[in-house]
Amino acid sequence: MIRVMRVADVRLEPDPLDPSQIVSGTPVTSVAELDEGRGIWEITPGVVTDVERDEIFVVLSGRATIETDDGQRVEVGPGDVCLLPEGAKTTWTVHETLRKVYQAH
């Protein structure tokens, strides 16, 4: 079955962060699960840590810097495609509320 939806019209539900992930600020996350392992995710400004799943995502809006524990640093913004390897330990510095569409394994 083919499904089409306007990203701006998709209702996101709260997806609370584990307080231990928050480094600074008061970031809030929300998500819309579209299918198993696929969805739309959003985070407001702040700094958070995470351990990644095997994921590909496209940034729809906003900006962030993603740093890994091995020193890699990337800037992501609208239109960027990013591949996150399983188990990567990351720190996300979200400069502007970031919304992405993702697929994770």
The per-residue pLDDT for range 41-98, each reduced to its tens digit, is 999 999 999 999 999 999 999 999 999 999 999 999 999 999 999 999 999 999 999 9
Tell me, letter by letter, the H, E, C secondary structure of 11-74: CCEECCCCHHHEEECCCCEEEEEEECCEEEEEECCEEEEEECCCEEEEEEEEEEEEEECCCCEE
- Domains plus CATH for the chain? 7-104 (2.60.120.10)
Q: String of b and e for 81-90 (b: at least 16 CB within 10 Å)? A: eeebeeebeb
What's this model's pTM, rounded to 2 decimal places?
Answer: 0.93
d(CA 92, CA 73): 10
